Amino acid sequence: MTQPKNAIVTGSTSGIGLGIATALAKSGMNIMLNGFGDAGQIEQIRQDLENSYGVQVLYSDADMTLSTEIEAMVAQAETAFGQIDVLVNNAGIQYVAPVDEFPTEKWDAIMAINLTSAFHTTRLVLPGMKARGWGRIINLASAHGLVASPYKSAYVAAKHGLIGFTKTVALEVAEQGVTVNAICPGYVLTPLVEKQIPDTAKARGISEEDVKRDVLLKAQPTKKFVTVEQLGDASRFLCSDAAASMTGTSLTMDGGWTAQ
């Protein structure tokens, strides 16, 4: 009987991360959830995934700005599962402001969570993947990893950096059975996006409905938000044997945004 694979998905207590964790659990993987939120709700999510898909699901509240807590999370997962086969770096935050008014502490936090945390998780799981000759690392970048928008200097810089990091690690392990890819979604109506809508409205001097119609979906020719289920299915594909020759890529799922 084939041993189940084991995955860590950062930022997975809601939104995109939870959608990806759910898809991987559905495919039979044990999951380490990570993120913040109401303890009772997170425990319910953990139990639901275990009961629905018959896999083991753990939870870590590791702060992605702290390397020591990231190390503890990875160690906890390796102790419980035996090994880590799949890493999904999804944790992220956003802040919207003109660059000359951008709070330095917000810049530092965005860089730490959106970019540096992926370095720490990757450096920790990669030795085991290389030793076993198999691994999948998926970095959730963004269409903003390929193009820019005003007032999002930290986010755009971090996501561009994450794509560069993806390419570099992919080349380093290209002959060792480990693939490293980025997924670049357009706008997904997650709690993160919903939270930035008022800030964008304030920065641009328009209504929140105008932000949705004329700012967010204006960039996407399909005029539809990307769904977490679509991103979950894309992640499952990247973990499959069919994607074994895909590495160092940036897989766009942006409703045609970056085709323009």
**What is the 3 state secondary structure string of 214-255?**
HHHHHHCCCCCCECHHHHHHHHHHHHCHHHCCCCCCEEEECC
Does residue 90 share a domain with residue 52? yes
Does residue 180 share a domain with residue 192? no
The pLDDT assigned to 10 comes to 98
Q: Is the pLDDT of residue 1 over 60?
A: no
The conformation of residue 116, written as its DSSP 8-state character, comes to: I
Does residue 217 share a domain with residue 99? no
> Given pLDDT bands bounded at 50, 70 and 90, which one contains residue 215?
confident
Does residue 100 share a domain with residue 47? yes
Does residue 156 share a domain with residue 107? yes
Does residue 73 share a domain with residue 197? no
In a domain, 142, yes or no: yes
Q: How many domains does the chain have?
A: 2
In a domain, 259, yes or no: no
Q: Which of 71-80, 140-149, 153-162, 193-202 has the lowest mean pLDDT?
A: 193-202
Does residue 112 share a domain with residue 16? yes
Is 155 known to be catalytic? yes
In a domain, 256, yes or no: no
Does residue 203 share a domain with residue 175? no
In a domain, 121, yes or no: yes
In a domain, 258, yes or no: no
Does residue 137 share a domain with residue 31? yes
pTM: predicted TM-score of the whole model, two decimal places: 0.94
> Given pLDDT bands bounded at 50, 70 and 90, which one contains residue 47?
very high
Identify the CA nearest to 228 among candidates 52, 33, 21: 21
- 147 is in which domain, residue-wise? 6-186+227-251
The pLDDT assigned to 193 comes to 79
Does residue 198 share a domain with residue 154? no
pLDDT tens track for 152-205? 999 999 999 999 999 999 999 999 999 999 999 999 988 777 888 898 899 899
The token pair that represents 39 in the structure block: 């303890």
Does residue 160 share a domain with residue 246? yes
In a domain, 69, yes or no: yes
In a domain, 1, yes or no: no
In a domain, 168, yes or no: yes
Catalytic residue, candidates 59, 95, 151, 155: 155
CATH code for the domain in which residue 48 is found: 3.40.50.720
Distance CA 125, CA 93 (A): 23
Does residue 178 share a domain with residue 130? yes
Residue bearing the bigger pLDDT, 189 or 55: 55
Q: What are phi and psi of 226, to 5 degrees?
A: -65, 145
The pLDDT assigned to 216 comes to 87
CA 106 from centroid of its chain's CA atoms: 19
Distance CA 15, CA 129 (A): 27
Q: Is the pLDDT of residue 230 over 80?
A: yes
